[in-house]
Amino acid sequence: MAKEKSTKYQLAGWPPTTISMASDQELEKWATDPNCLDSEACAKALAERLAKGDPALAAATRERHEAERRTAMASGREELQNNPFDPRTEVSADARHIAGRIVKHLWILFVLLPIVAVLLLALINAMK
């Protein structure tokens, strides 16, 4: 069985070099990326960087993050209301229809046809 390729990644020159030399935007992107294995370290470095700087800037950044999170949650909720079908957990109506037809035909082939054949043979033998 083949291994699936993981989408998670780790920063190449972890903490000392990559994180300390990254811009605030890069740190912010890595900290919010669910596939980044170093997201906690990036979030911590970004928080330390913002704490050292202007406290008003840190509060504004926190408020901006909270507003972005609320917007993303609202858009996700709206998308689910507009299109409630989730192909990972639900079965489509087309798939149910096709499966129903397959089951019906298999039932006819393996159950009904042998019963009819046995009854016909019994009727033919009774007539002789």
Return the bridge partners of 9, or none: 36
Identify the pLDDT of residue 111. 96
Identify the pLDDT of residue 119. 96
Q: pLDDT of the chain along its 128 residues, tens only?
A: 445 566 777 776 555 567 777 777 788 888 888 888 778 888 888 888 877 776 666 677 777 778 888 888 888 888 878 877 767 777 888 999 999 999 999 999 999 999 999 999 999 999 98
Q: Are 19 and 41 in contact (CB under 8 A)?
A: yes
Which residues constitute the domain of residue 115?
A: 89-128
Identify the pLDDT of residue 20. 74
In a domain, 97, yes or no: yes
CB atoms within 10 A of CB 18: 19
Which one-letter amino acid corresponds to residue 16? P
In a domain, 40, yes or no: no
Identify the pLDDT of residue 1. 43
In a domain, 98, yes or no: yes
Give the list of residues 6+ apart from residue 18 with CB closer than 8 angstroms, or none: 11, 12
Q: Into how many domains does the chain fold?
A: 1
Q: Are 73 and 65 in contact (CB under 8 A)?
A: no
DSSP 49: H
